[in-house]
Structures are given as structure tokens and as C-alpha cells.
A and B are shown apart, each in its own frame.
Chain A
Amino acid sequence: MSDLLQHAFNGLVNGSFYALLALGLAVIFGMLGVVNFAHGAFFMLGAFGAFILLNEAGVSFWIALLVVPLALGVVGMLLERLLVRRLVALDPLYNFLLTFGLTLIFQDLLRMKYGSQPQPYPQPAGLRGTVDLGLFDFPAYQVFVLVFSVLVSVGAWLLLARTRVGMIIRAATERPELTRAMGIDVGRWISPVFGFGIALAALSGVLAAPMRAVSPLMGADLIILVFAVVVIGGLGSIFGSVAAGFLIGMLQALGNVYVPGLATTSVFILMAVVLLWRPAGLFGREETAV
């Protein structure tokens, strides 16, 4: 039993990354209708940001955790202003291609500078031990990742549910035209929301640096899975993407133990089932309903 719990807990830790990434994708998709393929690249840039700050300037993990998402969030806003915005009116495929192209550029730039070999990043001091969770010990850093992502998710939820800004974003995410008709300037909020989504990707990248291989391709490997998470949770559904993130993490971890070899495939099987059964995703809203 404690084994099962340990694996489930471990799944939640992996789910943290999916949840944060999916949350960012969901707000961006909801608000702009853009499938941001560069999300994985920003995850990678987040990890590299932490690595570069540590190596070039000796900046600690804790400061990187704040600075890197902010900086990349600003980059995201500029990106939206300068490029993404110009293509929004066209077929969604154009922005898909744009962000895919950006991904390749970011990956190759870092590969030119640092090569494909993973870069070293130490665990932050203070989180190197293990924590006794009653039934089992678990690495302190992993526990921190889970707690921190839950806090960020809850924080994002409070921001969206309890503040006026959040209300506008939610309204604009789910019914952009109607919101506009209410006399709210939706356009003003597009850049910050895009930046916010990117910052979340960067944040999970920084969190990943101490426990994953920091390499230019680390995001490309992950992003396909995160797309599956978003589809399962419901495209554009904020709560759905977070819940599906943790759910998929757990499914994968338990799959690894009980049906090894099918762990990743099981995610896509679930996606297929969900699409057949509830085409809008587990928590998504059918367009015709309401």
C-alpha cells in the first residue's frame, strides 16, 4: 500500500510540470485562439535561464525562480506584440507554424552555444535531503516542486476567480466576442495574458533544472505530452488543464509500475477515449451546450 502511495505521489510530482505547462497553454489558447507550439521551448529556456544565471553570475536557484519567469514573461509579451498579433486574424495554422519555427530557432541557438549534451545543474542547498512523509521518505526537492506548483495553481485560480482582472480574462478566454460587446477592451489584456502563460512555462523550466537533464531538446520531448494533457482537460479550460496535468502524471507513474511499456501510450489512449466520449475534453464545455 505504501508502495502504491509512493508511486502515486511521485506521479503527482511529474504532474506538477504538466499542470503548470498546460495551464499556460490553456490561458493562451483561450484568450488568443493560438496553439502555442513554442511552449516547450520556453520551458527549456526557463531551465537554461537558471543554468546560465548560475554559471555566469552565480545567481542562486531561488532568485532564478523569480527572475527567469519574469524576464521570459516580458519576452513573451514582446513576442505577442511583434509577431503573434499580426497572424491572429489569419488561419490558426499560421501561428502554429510561427511558434513551431521559433521553437526550432531557440533550440538551435542554444545548441550552437552549449551543444546537445545536458548541462549540469545542482539541487538547491537546503533541499538536498529527504522528507519523512509518514509512510515513506521522499526527496525534499520533489516535495517542494509539488507543493510549489499546487500553490501557483491555486494562486492562479484565485487571481482568475476573485479579482476583476481575472474576471475579465476568464470572460475573454471563454467568450471573447461577447466580452468585447460588453464594452471591455479585450485587446489590452492579450499581451499580459500571453506573457503570463509564457512565464508559467519558464517557471516550470526553472523547477525542472535540478531534477531533469538541462538540454536544448528537453522541451520538445515534453510538449507533445502536454498537448495531450490540454486536450484531455478541455482546450481552453483553466481548471481542466491543471486537473488533467496532475491526473496524467499519476496515470503515467502508475502505468510505469503496473504496465511498463504502455505508460506513455496510455496517455494517448486516454486522449482518444476522451475525444470519443467527450469531444470537448473532461472539463471543457461543448460549444452547442451552455
Chain B
Amino acid sequence: MRRNLIPAISTLAVVSLLAACGGGAGGPSGGGGKISDDKIVLGVINDQTGIYSELSGPNAVEAVKMAVEDFKAKHADDAVSKNIEVVVADHQNKPEVANTKAQEMYDRQQADAIFDVPTSSAALAVAGQALAKKKLYFNITAATTALTGDKCNKYTFHYAYDTYMLANGTGTAVTEAGSKNWYIVYPDYAFGQDMEKSFSKAIETSGGKVVGKKSSEFPNTSGDFSSQLLQAPAAKPDVLGTMHAGGELVNLVKQYNQFKLKDKGVGLSVGLMFITDIHSLGPDALAGTRFTDAWYWNFDQQNRDWADKFKEKTGSRPSFAHAGNYSAAMNYLEAIQAAGTDASDDVVKNLEGKEINDFFLRNGKIRAEDHRVIHDVYLAEVKPKSDVKEDYDYEKIVTTIPADKAFKPLSESACKMGQG
């Protein structure tokens, strides 16, 4: 007990010395044993009340806090710092708000790393700030591959999922299972357009064909998708692929069921689905639908154990975004512990190329070349209500897509890390 005081006191001394010299805050320096401002600050920027607040939102903050607690408990007196804070900002899914909040967090709240940030345009803004301030950013809930493509940078990491992984998983699996002809409907903005392109490519590569596609306005104020749905059967598709998310997905699926497209031989495939969406629609509305999931809470005992702890804190079951936030925060803290400092460059060096296995990252690896965090992902199928045994027990895992097959290969990546 007592001997641990010595490193703590010396750390304090070094830090106050540096601060006194006015040289501490500047560029990252190589030496170990230093924690900036004598504390580690984890920032979470996401949607606290809007359309993405259920799938990440306040519970993602809770997940990051759980990681901090578990880290403290695990390392107890050996922890590189006991002073770990979590700060939160609501970006309302607006890139300009995300940009300001990120700036404020890095500069004024002394955040060492920012987590989460749904909405691709907002995530790209935060990645820009991370690069400018030379502080870390772990994206979890935004889907764009640009973060590890042409907009990649040294301080940004992409966790969990992206549009390539979704298209590659779902598009390929469904096509190979015999649904060759696709009709794609997508919302007409960055995410939807990106998804449409990724899916078309995956479908054609695996021998399928896109027989028709239709965009919808975004946001769709009337909540009506029947004109898109009514046009689909004429193209004689095997499957309707929807790239809508959240409330729009819920509307579209309700109307898909009402127009009985399934009886007309048109199956349903969903580009991006969170467990919260299945909960909104009720499993029967989606039964049999296949989609790619980055993580599922009821996959095995290890996942369940964490999901149980999460439920104690929040009263609900975690989405993959919640689990991803926990894992990212935990591995970030472990990297600081290993590096002995929170200096960004040293932490990045520790993370790059690291192979990690935890409840979220199975066969996980942080690719040094583009900072894509790869791991096993899952092709899931929605269970019919009769098979659902407890709340949120909605998915059956059909196959595991191994980490090295699930994400965009480095050979196709547009990332040039050197220039970042």
C-alpha cells in the first residue's frame, strides 16, 4: 500500500514541475510516467435525446463509465492514474455542433480521447479536430468508411462497424443464399448513398444483380414509403434491401408488411439494424430477416455476463454500440497503463498493430495502416416471437464472419496515414 505512494507522489511532482515550467501542455514528448493535467479525461460526444439516443446516447456514457470503474478495480493501486473523469456532450447529430464540442472538450475540458459520435458527417468533423489537437478519437457509432479511408489520420480509430462491413456481410450472404435480384431503397443522404454503393458492389461481386433502386427524401417528413414499396414488385426482385435507419426503418418495415410484399415473393433485407430497432417493430414484423451485427449480447456466456452488468446499471440490454464504447474505453485505458503515459503519440504507438481479445473484440486487431479495428462479426437472423425467451432475445447468429474477411482489405484502402 505504502510503496505505491512513491510513484504517485513522484508523478505528481513531475507533473507539477512540468506545469510550473510551462512546458507540459505542448507537444507530445517521449518519456514515460506522465499523465497530462494529472488526470485522464474521456469525452463522449453523441446524440443524447434524438433519433440515435437509444442505440448509443446516455447508455453509451454509462458503458464508458463502467469501463473506467472496471479499470480502476482491476489495477487498483497500480493504476497509472486514479483520477479518471468522463465528460459528455450532446451533438444533436449536427456536424457543426460536434466540431465545436470536440474543440471545447480537447481544449477546455482537457479530454485526452473522445468516444462514440454517431452520424458520419459529425464523426468526420471530430476526426478533423483530433488531428488538429493531436488527441485521440475512437469512433464507434458512425458508419462511414472515410474515417479509415481517404480521411484517416494518426489519432483516429474506427471501432465496431462500417458500411463496407455491413454490405459485405449482408449483401454477400443473402445473395449467395439464393436471393440474386435486389431492389434497393435508400435515404438520399451521405450514409444512404454510401450504403447503396457498398451493397451494389457486394451484390454484384457475389453474382447477384441490382434490378432496381429508389431513393427517398431525407428526412422523410410524411413517414410514407409506400410509393417506393409499390414500385418494387414490377422489377421482379427476390429481395428488397433497405438502407434506412432508426425511425425511418421502422416506418418502412411496417409498410413493407402491410403491402404484403413477402407474399409477392419479395423478401426483406436490412442494411443496418440495431437491436433497439427490432424491439420497436416487434420480432414478428422482422422474423427471418438477415443482417450483419457487430456484436450480440446473448451470443455466449462472456457477452451475457457483461450484458447482465449493463442491465443492472441501465435497466436495458446493450446494443453493439454500447458494448463497443466499453471496449474502446477499456482498451484505451489499458494502452495508457502499458505506455505509462497518456501522451497521444505514445498511446497510438501502443495501440497500433495490437491484437486484442475481449468480450467485444473476438480475434480483434488494430490495423496500424488505417486504424480500422477488425474483429469477428456476425450474420444474424431475427427470431419469430415464439422463439423469444426473454426481453431483447431477438437474434439467432447464423454464421460468424471472421475478422480478416469482415472488413475492407488494406489493399483497397485509400488511407495514407503518413500524410495525416
- The answer to whether B217 and A264 have CB atoms under 8 Å apart is yes
CB A22 to nearest CB in B, in angstroms, measures 14
Which residues does A use to contact B, with CB under 8 Å? 3, 6-7, 10, 13-14, 108, 111, 115-120, 122-123, 130, 137, 139, 141-142, 208, 210-213, 215, 217-218, 221-222, 224-225, 252-253, 256-257, 260-261, 263-264
A120 and B260 form a contact (CB under 8 A): no
What 0/1 pattern do residues 296 to 325 of B give for CB contact below 8 A with A?
Answer: 000000000000000000000000000000
CA distance A108 to B277 in the complex (A): 21
Most chain A CB inside 10 Å of its own CB: which residue of B50, B227, B260? B227
Nearest CB of chain B from residue A58's CB, rounded to whole Å: 16
Does the CB pair B222–A118 fall under 8 Å? no
When C-beta atoms are compared, the residue in chain A nearest to B215 turns out to be A260
Closest chain B residue, CB of each to CB of A136 = B230
Is B228 within 8 A of A256, CB to CB? yes
Closest CB of chain B to A55's CB: distance in Å?
12
Given A10-B227, A141-B258, A261-B215, A118:B221 Cβ within 8 A: no
Q: Number of contacts between A and B (CB, 8 Å)?
A: 106
B227 close to A224 (CB less than 8 A): no
Q: A120-B281, A142-B258, A260-B214 are in contact. List 10 more A-B contacts (CB 8 A).
A: A118-B247, A118-B251, A130-B259, A137-B260, A142-B226, A211-B255, A213-B223, A213-B254, A260-B217, A264-B221
Given A211-B258, A261-B217: A119 and B280 interface contact (C-beta under 8 Å): yes
Q: Pick the contact of B280 from A10, A120, A217, A252 — CB < 8 Å?
A: A120
* 17 A-B pairs (CB sep. < 8 Å): A7-B227, A10-B224, A116-B50, A117-B54, A119-B280, A120-B285, A130-B259, A139-B258, A139-B260, A218-B223, A221-B221, A224-B221, A225-B221, A252-B224, A256-B227, A260-B214, A264-B222
Contact B227 A212 (CB under 8 A): no
Structural contact, B223 and A123, CB atoms closer than 8 A: no
B227 x A117 contact (CB < 8 A): no
Taking CB atoms, residues of chain B closer than 8 Å to A108 are: 49
Closest to B251 in A: A213
CA distance A211 to B227 in the complex (A): 14
Residue of A nearest to B51 (CB): A116
How far, in Å, is A67 (CB) from chain B's closest CB? Answer: 23
Quick check: B53 and A261 within 8 Å, CB to CB? Answer: no
Residue of A nearest to B188 (CB): A261
Which of chain A's residues has its CB closest to B229's CB?
A10
* In the complex, chain B residues 13-65 whose Cβ is within 8 Å of any chain A Cβ: 49-51, 53-55
List of B residues within 8 angstroms of A118 by Cβ: 246-247, 250-251, 280
Most buried by A among B222, B224, B254, B255: B222
Min Cβ gap A242→B in Å is 18
Is the CB of B219 closer than 8 A to any CB of chain A? yes
B282 within 8 A of A: yes
Shortest beta-carbon distance from A225 to chain B in Å: 6
Closest to B248 in A: A213
Q: Which residues of A contact B217 (CB under 8 A)?
A: 260-261, 263-264
The contact of A257 among B221, B227, B259, by CB within 8 Å, is B227
Q: In the complex, what residues of B have CB within 8 A of residue A261's CB?
A: 188, 215, 217
B231 close to A (CB within 8 Å): yes
B332 CB, nearest partner CB in chain A, Å:
28
Complex interface bits, B222-265 against A, C-beta within 8 A gives 1, otherwise 0: 11101110110010000000000011101100110011100000
Q: How far is the CB of A149 from chain B (nearest CB, A)?
A: 15
Who on chain B is nearest to A108 by CB? B49
Q: How far is the CA of A120 from the CA of B247 in the complex (A)?
A: 11
- Do A115 and B224 have beta carbons less than 8 Å apart? no
Name the CB-closest residue of B to A212: B223
- Given the complex of chains A and B, what is the CA–CA distance between A218 and B279 in angstroms? 18
Contacts of A211 in B (CB 8 A): 254-255, 258
Contact among A130, A137, A222 with B222 in the assembled complex (CB-CB below 8 Å): A222
B contact residues around A141 at 8 Å (CB): 258
The smallest beta-carbon distance between B141 and chain A, in angstroms, is 14
**Interchain CB contact under 8 A, A117 and B280:** yes
Judged by a CB distance under 8 angstroms, whether B350 is at the interface is: no
Query: How far apart sit A171 and B296, CA to CA, in the bound complex (Å)?
Result: 63
User: What are the nearest 4 A-B pairs in CB distance?
Assistant: A256-B227, A117-B54, A139-B258, A213-B250
Number of residues of chain B lying within 8 A (CB) of chain A:
39
Q: Once the chains are docked, how many angstroms separate the CA of A215 from the CA of B247?
A: 8
Q: How far is the CA of A263 from the CA of B214 in the complex (A)?
A: 13
B276 at the interface (CB under 8 A from A): yes
Say whether B223 contacts A221, CB under 8 Å. Answer: yes
The B271-291 residues at the A interface (CB cut-off 8 A) are 276-277, 279-282, 285
Q: Is the CB of B230 within 8 A of A6?
A: yes
The distance in angstroms between the C-alpha atoms of A261 and B234, with both chains bound, is 21
Query: Which residues of B have CB within 8 Å of A116?
Result: 49-51, 53-54, 247
The residue of chain A having its C-beta at the shortest distance from the C-beta of B277 within the complex is A117
How far is the CB of A150 from the nearest CB of chain B, in Å?
18
Q: Answer whether A213 and B247 are a contact pair too, CB < 8 Å, given A10-B227, A256-B228.
A: yes
B226 touches A253 (CB 8 A): yes
B365 to chain A, nearest CB (A): 33
Closest Cβ of chain A: how far from B366's Cβ, in Å? 31
| Known interface pairs A10-B230, A211-B255, A211-B258; A253-B224 also in contact (CB < 8 Å) | yes
Given A142-B258, A260-B214, A260-B215, do A3 and B234 touch, yes or no (CB 8 Å)? yes
Q: How far is the CB of B320 from chain A (nearest CB, A)?
A: 15
A213 touches B280 (CB 8 A): yes
In this complex, what residue of B is CB-closest to A142? Answer: B258
Give the docked Cα–Cα distance between A141 and B223 (Å).
Answer: 16
> Which chain B residue lies CB-closest to A224?
B221
A115–B57 CA distance with the chains assembled, in angstroms: 10
In the complex, chain A residues whose CB is within 8 Å of the CB of B254: 210-213
Residues of B within 8 A of A7 (CB): 227, 230
Most buried by B among A13, A108, A253: A253
Contacts of A260 in B (CB 8 A): 214-217
A17 CB → nearest B CB, Å: 8
Whether the pair B219, A221 counts as a contact (CB closer than 8 A) is yes
Of the candidates A3, A117, A217, A253, which one forms a contact with B279 in the assembled complex, judged by CB atoms under 8 Å apart?
A117
Once the chains bind, are B214 and A14 in contact (CB under 8 Å)? no
Q: Which residue of B lies closest to A17 (CB)?
A: B222
**Whole-angstrom distance between the alpha carbons of A221 and B219 in the complex?**
9
Closest to B316 in A: A115
Instruction: Report the bound CA distance from A130 to B262 in whole Å.
Output: 13
How far, in whole Å, are A24 and B282 apart by their CA atoms in the complex? 32
